């Protein structure tokens, strides 16, 4: 029933953004996920991020694979095109779409089964290829649609509802993404809107492969005691490396911070991320340090969240392929077809 | 009696893979072409980089037959590993050319052939100091001796060398020298020419000499392809590589040098087709080049592209299957895997070019078909077409031709309030209108998916809605008949009740087989299938004959199966003629097989009358 239209009541004083749109213009169909599903919070955060960034919704392309997570693009940005592809293959479809038209924003939504199991290869290769995208994994550690089997991100020793214990090692997609060359890597929690929304905003503005692992508890199959992906467990073990505010290039800087308390990272388009430091000195540009930190905290049973790694001036696939500025899907026939005289020359070289 | 033949014989070079013989062999073939005499060349090579045996076959045919003939009149035996087999393969009366630097026992030769020994190694060791030069120039010295033996004009080869190494004077003079060492030695020490001779003719005309993979790559450029995603696999690799090199020349912005093309060597075939589907959904013309194992891996995506109706072009350069099969041998054995690709009920569009010339045309057309019909289109090549150079009509392009983007709603269409239903059949031809992502702020967006949906692209599991959509897809497939290349029919000179159907690379051998059969008193009407869905003309052809042979290069008569299944043809009427040992089908094979089948049926009829 994903096509149910939402009622369109407008509060007379509803907030509008620079495009004159309200947050309702960023909504999609009514969610058919379970009540309380973490994924719905992610959808809300995406809508809010796009609204606050003043993005025209139709200039975003939503691409997903198969699974609960991959259903979510129906539930946000209803006036954007979406593509619910095949299981584990969102990255390749998104890559092709991105090659066809470099001007749209590509938002890939995947899950832990979709990206860490069946699509592990495509996850890896799309990132190492430098596709300009937001790649968000709604990570709950289980297969929801098939009723609760472990996924490859389930922690070793975690238990299922009926008591089965996971004996396989967990895949940490964040560590993988850093190793594979993602230039923006964050982890967050669907229950922490204050961290989730600015992280999505910054990822959208980032030019290059931006990966977000969003732990998103499955209320139906993985929110019990013994789960390491439950709301309670994640809240108790959440170890944020920073708190971030995303500031667009257009916004005036109004908030003052104490020196040493904040790191301002300016992005390619002039926008900036302000990272408020929490606890230890954490350098978001230190790739090796990030990996070491992840592994140390994991040993201690903690879940590292926040903006974990950022490369300031990345190159992306479009640059690597030296593509023309005009989207390939807009090139006129005259710029595609070399014509009969060129063909004559080719013929004469083949005699 | 040594074979005497002018402009009609087969030369076979037996070489070791990686010895640098390939370019010298091709130079020999081109020299015959420059004499105005058609050649058909075929590379028979192993799945190996260096060290294993490889053969290069040059069929010299003044009559212009381009199929493989079978047999060997002159064996250039340069590979000790395969000596016995190579000597045995020479037709009686034929010739053996070999390197006589080392003595070979008399028992290793045959009495019924002419043996021509040239001490190639000895000559090269005397003339050249460096080991590398000795090896490289040995191939050219060999060509020099051969052209003397076959009476080919040495100045023709000199100019070929000049063209090949244009601007590199050192290389030109060194190769000229080697060429003359060979031809001078042959003239001084051997009887030149032998019974096989090349005599100047004008049977080549303005035809070009090119392989089907290169031709297809050029067709893709002319057809407006901008995205190529591929994974290396024999025998399709050279298609993507040719696309890459021609794009750099033909598709770079003259001012900025930026690329109007994107080529991704993906991690596997799944990603390749995924990239193609993503690009096709977003309005770029995209393709992949692959072979049988790749087609197997792409099945799930092919179902998605069929069902979500996304344009995609696939070049399937078929090789011997199943599984890894014979990776460097030719077959037409992916017909059913492509026609019915993916689970569930599907029917995919296939086109069957006969040679590089048609591969160019069909490649360009495939992109129009894919956009017009919003579905995958398979260009069914095979190793024989794809990797072998063949004489073919020059490529042509009509500059007035426009790319057919099919039914795409624009911003203005949407702004004007046109009703948009992504799967809504407004024109009655089964083809709905589509929009590219990002077209209009509030209209025209839809969710592409592999799940069932209604005409407005809204998810549903309603059985009636599902059936209506599946029926529309059948209507679309029916519409496709009027867009795909139609069959080519060639009536026999005398009225006959027997026909023959063939497709793809079989055509070259079939042209010749028909003449051989006519000479044997068997008249056949011929139909060449050029696409699936099958046009009604194909069905009419079968119904209009008592018996129709279907000649294919696979074990299970796959096209015949498709003909029977799709058109309710009586299986008794269509008789399979199958060649699938991995070598290209020959005219001799077709003529003998059909000749035997016709003779059998005469016997049966006579027995029937007697009993």
- What pLDDT, on the 0 to 100 scale, is given for residue B135? 86
Which of A92, A101, A346 lies nearest to residue B275, judging by beta carbons? A92
pLDDT digits (tens, 9 = 90+) for B510-560: 999 999 999 999 999 999 999 999 999 999 999 999 999 999 999 999 999
Q: What span, in angstroms and rounded, lies between the C-alpha atoms of B89 and B93?
A: 12
Which of B207, B300, B459 lies nearest to residue A2, judging by beta carbons? B459
Considering only CB atoms, which chain B residues are within 8 Å of A89? 270-271, 274, 301
Q: 3-class DSSP state for residue B19?
A: coil
List the pLDDT tens digit at each of the 351 positions of chain A: 445 666 666 677 889 999 999 999 999 999 999 999 999 999 999 999 999 999 999 999 999 999 999 999 999 999 999 999 999 999 999 999 999 999 999 999 999 999 999 999 999 999 999 999 999 999 999 998 898 899 999 999 999 988 899 999 999 999 999 999 999 999 999 999 999 999 999 999 999 999 999 999 999 999 999 999 999 999 999 999 888 888 776 655 455 556 566 777 877 777 888 877 776 678 999 999 999 999 999 998 899 999 999 998 889 999 999 999 999 999 999 999 999 999 999 999 999
Whether residues B403 and A91 touch (CB distance < 8 A) is answered with no
Q: How many CB contacts within 8 angstroms connect chain A with chain B?
A: 225
Interface test with B, best of A93, A110, A323, A326 (most B CBs within 10 A): A93
Considering only CB atoms, which chain B residues are within 8 Å of A93? 274-275, 277-278, 281
Tokens coding B423: 């799967």
Considering only CB atoms, which chain B residues are within 8 Å of A96? 227, 229, 274-282, 284, 286
* In the predicted structure, residue B211 carries a pLDDT above the cut 60: yes
Nearby residues of B123 by Cβ (< 8 Å), 6 or more positions away: B141, B181, B182, B185
Task: Inform me whether the C-beta atom of residue B318 falls under 8 Å from chain A C-beta atoms.
Answer: no
Residue of A nearest to B266 (CA): A125
Whether residues A58 and B268 touch (CB distance < 8 A) is answered with no
A129: distance to nearest CA of chain B, Å?
9
Nearest in space to B229 (alpha carbons), one of B271, B281, B292: B271
- What pLDDT, on the 0 to 100 scale, is given for residue A2? 45
Tokens coding B583: 């070598």
Nearby residues of A296 by Cβ (< 8 Å), 6 or more positions away: none
- What pLDDT, on the 0 to 100 scale, is given for residue A162? 86
Which is it for strands B53-61 and B39-44: parallel, antiparallel or unpaired?
A: antiparallel
Whether residues A96 and B301 touch (CB distance < 8 A) is answered with no
Phi, psi (5° rounding) for residue B184? -65, -45
Considering only CB atoms, which chain A residues are within 8 Å of B271? 89, 91-92, 95, 121-122, 125
- What pLDDT, on the 0 to 100 scale, is given for residue A251? 59
Query: B531 near B349, Cβ under 8 Å?
Result: yes
pLDDT digits (tens, 9 = 90+) for B105-126: 999 999 999 999 999 999 999 9
Interface test with A, best of B266, B275, B454 (most A CBs within 10 A): B275
Considering only CB atoms, which chain B residues are within 8 Å of A57? 441
Considering only CB atoms, which chain A residues are within 8 Å of B300? 86
Whether residues B251 and A86 touch (CB distance < 8 A) is answered with no
Task: Inform me whether the C-beta atom of residue B360 falls under 8 Å from chain A C-beta atoms.
Answer: no
- What domains are there in chain A, each with its CATH number? 23-330 (3.40.50.970)
A116: distance to nearest CA of chain B, Å?
16
B250: distance to nearest CA of chain A, Å?
6
Residue of A nearest to B402 (CA): A333
Tokens coding B608: 């029937």
* In the predicted structure, residue B499 carries a pLDDT above the cut 80: yes
- What pLDDT, on the 0 to 100 scale, is given for residue B263? 98
- What domains are there in chain B, each with its CATH number? 5-197 (3.40.920.10), 210-392 (3.40.50.970), 407-484 (no CATH), 488-610 (3.40.50.920)
Considering only CB atoms, which chain B residues are within 8 Å of A333? 224, 402-403
Q: What span, in angstroms and rounded, lies between the C-alpha atoms of A16 and B471?
A: 45
Whether residues B448 and A83 touch (CB distance < 8 A) is answered with yes
Residue of A nearest to B272 (CA): A92
Task: Inform me whether the C-beta atom of residue B415 falls under 8 Å from chain A C-beta atoms.
Answer: no
Considering only CB atoms, which chain A residues are within 8 Å of B281? 83, 93, 96-97, 100
- What pLDDT, on the 0 to 100 scale, is given for residue A179? 98
- What pLDDT, on the 0 to 100 scale, is given for residue A265? 80
Which is it for strands B447-449 and B488-490: parallel, antiparallel or unpaired?
A: unpaired
Whether residues A125 and B276 touch (CB distance < 8 A) is answered with no
Interface test with A, best of B202, B282, B368 (most A CBs within 10 A): B282
B308: distance to nearest CA of chain A, Å?
9
Q: 3-class DSSP state for residue B176?
A: helix
Task: Inform me whether the C-beta atom of residue B40 falls under 8 Å from chain A C-beta atoms.
Answer: no
B78: distance to nearest CA of chain A, Å?
28
Task: Inform me whether the C-beta atom of residue B438 falls under 8 Å from chain A C-beta atoms.
Answer: yes
Residue of A nearest to B357 (CA): A347
pLDDT digits (tens, 9 = 90+) for B391-449: 999 999 999 999 999 999 999 999 999 999 999 999 999 999 999 999 999 999 999 99
Beta bridge partners of B503: B529
Considering only CB atoms, which chain B residues are within 8 Å of A321? 259, 262-264
CB atoms within 10 A of CB A242: 21
- Report how far apart the first and last C-alpha atoms of chain A are (Å, whole number): 63
- What was the ipTM of the complex prediction? 0.95
Residue of B nearest to A319 (CA): B258
Considering only CB atoms, which chain B residues are within 8 Å of A59? 438
Task: Inform me whether the C-beta atom of residue B210 falls under 8 Å from chain A C-beta atoms.
Answer: yes
Interface test with A, best of B207, B223, B227, B278 (most A CBs within 10 A): B278
Which is it for strands B531-532 and B349-351: parallel, antiparallel or unpaired?
A: antiparallel
Burial of B489 from C-beta contacts in 10 A (0-12 / 13-18 / 19+): middle
pLDDT digits (tens, 9 = 90+) for B344-377: 999 999 999 999 999 999 999 999 999 999 999 9
Whether residues B445 and A325 touch (CB distance < 8 A) is answered with no
Beta bridge partners of B490: B526
Angle between helices B131-149 and B154-164 (to 10 degrees): 140
Task: Inform me whether the C-beta atom of residue B202 falls under 8 Å from chain A C-beta atoms.
Answer: no
Interface test with B, best of A20, A94, A337, A344 (most B CBs within 10 A): A337
User: How much of chain B exceeds pLDDT 70, in percent?
Assistant: 99
Whether residues B270 and A122 touch (CB distance < 8 A) is answered with yes
Considering only CB atoms, which chain B residues are within 8 Å of A324? 253, 256, 258-260
Residue of A nearest to B300 (CA): A86
Whether residues A80 and B394 touch (CB distance < 8 A) is answered with no
- Percentages helix, strand, coil for chain B (3-state, rounded to 5) are 40, 20, 40
Considering only CB atoms, which chain B residues are within 8 Å of A84? 447-451
Nearby residues of A197 by Cβ (< 8 Å), 6 or more positions away: A45, A48, A49, A52
> Can you list the positions of beta strands (E) in B17-126?
39-44, 53-61, 74-77, 95-99, 114-118
Whether residues A99 and B447 touch (CB distance < 8 A) is answered with no
Q: Span B381-395, mean pLDDT?
A: 97
Distance set, CA A126 to CA A130, A183, A184, A243, B314 (Å): 7, 12, 14, 28, 22
How much is the pTM?
Answer: 0.96
Which of A1, A74, A104 lies nearest to residue B447, judging by beta carbons? A74
Query: B580 near B555, Cβ under 8 Å?
Result: yes
A348: distance to nearest CA of chain B, Å?
8
Q: Which of residues 381-400 of B touch A (CB under 8 A)?
A: 394-399
């Amino acid at each position: 029933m994903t096509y149910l239209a939402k009622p369109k009541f407008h509060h007379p004083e509803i907030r509008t953004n620079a495009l004159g749109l309200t947050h309702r213009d960023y909504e999609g169909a009514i969610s058919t996920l379970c009540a309380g599903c973490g994924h719905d919070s992610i959808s809300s955060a995406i809508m809010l991020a796009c609204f606050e960034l003043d993005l025209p919704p139709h200039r975003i392309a939503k691409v997903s694979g198969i699974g609960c997570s991959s259903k979510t693009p129906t539930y946000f940005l209803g006036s954007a095109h979406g593509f619910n592809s095949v299981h584990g293959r969102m990255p390749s479809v998104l890559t092709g779409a991105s090659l066809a038209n470099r001007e749209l924003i590509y938002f890939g939504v995947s899950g832990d089964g979709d990206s860490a199991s069946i699509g592990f290869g495509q996850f890896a290769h799309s990132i190492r290829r430098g596709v300009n995208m937001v790649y968000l994994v709604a990570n709950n550690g289980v297969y929801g649609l098939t009723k609760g089997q472990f996924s490859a991100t389930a922690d070793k020793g975690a238990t299922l509802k009926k008591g089965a214990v996971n004996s396989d090692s967990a895949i940490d997609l964040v560590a993988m993404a850093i190793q594979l060359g993602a230039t923006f890597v964050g982890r967050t929690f669907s229950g922490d809107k204050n961290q989730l929304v600015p992280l999505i905003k910054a990822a959208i503005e980032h030019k290059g492969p931006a990966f977000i692992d969003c732990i998103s508890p499955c209320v139906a199959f993985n929110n019990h005691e013994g789960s390491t992906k439950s709301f309670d467990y994640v809240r108790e073990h959440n170890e944020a490396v920073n708190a971030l505010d995303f500031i667009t290039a257009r916004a005036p800087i109004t908030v003052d911070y104490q020196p040493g308390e904040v790191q301002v990272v300016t992005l390619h388009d002039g926008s900036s991320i302000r990272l408020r430091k929490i606890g230890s000195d954490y350098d978001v540009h230190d790739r090796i340090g990030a990996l070491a930190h992840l592994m140390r905290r994991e040993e201690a049973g903690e879940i590292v969240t926040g903006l974990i790694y950022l490369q300031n001036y990345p190159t992306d696939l479009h640059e690597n392929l030296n593509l023309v500025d005009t989207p390939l899907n807009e090139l006129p026939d005259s710029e595609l077809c070399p014509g009969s005289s060129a063909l004559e020359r080719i013929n004469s070289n083949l005699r | 009696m040594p074979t005497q033949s002018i402009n009609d014989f087969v030369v076979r070079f037996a070489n070791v893979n990686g010895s640098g013989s390939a370019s010298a062999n091709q130079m020999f073939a081109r020299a015959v072409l420059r004499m105005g005499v058609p050649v058909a060349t075929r590379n028979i090579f192993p799945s190996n980089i260096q060290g294993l045996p490889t053969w290069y076959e040059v069929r010299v045919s003044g009559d212009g037959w381009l199929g493989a003939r079978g047999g060997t009149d002159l064996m250039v035996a340069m590979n000790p590993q395969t000596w016995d087999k190579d000597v045995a393969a020479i037709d009686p009366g034929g010739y053996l050319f070999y390197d006589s630097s080392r003595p070979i026992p008399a028992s290793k030769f045959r009495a019924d052939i002419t043996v021509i020994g040239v001490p190639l190694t000895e000559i090269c060791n005397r003339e050249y100091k460096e080991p590398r030069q000795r090896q490289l120039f040995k191939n050219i010295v060999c060509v020099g001796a051969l052209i003397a033996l076959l009476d080919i004009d040495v100045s023709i080869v000199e100019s070929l060398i000049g063209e090949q190494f244009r601007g590199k004077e050192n290389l030109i003079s060194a190769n000229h020298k080697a060429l003359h060492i060979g031809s001078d030695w042959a003239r001084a020490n051997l009887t030149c020419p032998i019974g096989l001779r090349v005599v100047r003719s004008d049977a080549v005309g303005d035809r070009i000499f090119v392989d089907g993979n290169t031709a297809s790559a050029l067709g893709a450029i002319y057809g407006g392809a901008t995205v190529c995603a591929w994974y290396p696999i024999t025998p399709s690799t050279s298609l993507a590589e040719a696309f890459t090199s021609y794009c750099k020349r033909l598709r770079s912005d003259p001012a900025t040098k930026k690329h109007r093309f994107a080529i991704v060597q993906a991690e596997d075939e799944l990603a390749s087709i995924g990239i193609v589907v993503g690009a096709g959904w977003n309005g770029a013309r995209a393709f992949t080049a692959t072979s049988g194992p790749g087609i197997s891996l792409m099945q799930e995506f092919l179902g998605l592209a069929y069902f979500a109706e996304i344009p995609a072009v696939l070049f399937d350069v078929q090789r011997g299957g199943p599984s890894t099969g014979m990776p460097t041998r030719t077959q037409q054995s992916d017909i059913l895997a492509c026609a019915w690709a993916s689970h569930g009920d599907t029917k995919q569009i296939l086109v069957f070019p006969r040679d590089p010339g048609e591969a160019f045309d069909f490649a360009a057309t495939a992109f129009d078909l894919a956009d017009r019909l919003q579905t995958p289109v398979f260009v069914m090549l095979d190793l024989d077409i794809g990797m072998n150079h063949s004489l073919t009509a020059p490529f042509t392009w009509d500059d007035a031709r426009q790319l057919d983007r099919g039914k795409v709603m624009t911003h203005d269409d949407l702004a004007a309030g046109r009703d948009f239903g992504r799967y809504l059949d407004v024109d009655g031809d089964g083809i709905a209108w589509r929009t590219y992502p990002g077209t209009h702020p509030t209209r025209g967006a839809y969710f592409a998916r592999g799940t069932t949906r209604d005409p407005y692209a809204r998810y549903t599991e309603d059985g009636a809605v599902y059936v209506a959509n599946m029926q529309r897809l059948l209507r679309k497939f029916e519409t496709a008949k009027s867009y795909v290349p139609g069959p080519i029919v060639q009536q026999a000179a005398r009225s006959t009740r027997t026909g023959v159907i063939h497709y793809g690379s079989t055509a070259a051998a079939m042209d010749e087989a028909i003449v051989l059969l006519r000479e044997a008193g068997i008249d056949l009407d011929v139909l060449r299938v050029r696409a699936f869905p099958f046009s009604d003309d194909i069905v009419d052809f079968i119904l209009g004959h008592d018996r129709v042979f279907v000649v294919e290069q696979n074990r299970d008569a796959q096209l015949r199966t498709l003909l029977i299944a799709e058109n309710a043809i009586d299986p008794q009427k269509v008789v399979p003629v199958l060649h699938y040992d991995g070598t290209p089908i020959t005219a001799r094979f077709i003529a003998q097989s059909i000749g035997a089948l016709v003779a059998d049926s005469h016997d049966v009829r006579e027995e029937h009358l007697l009993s």
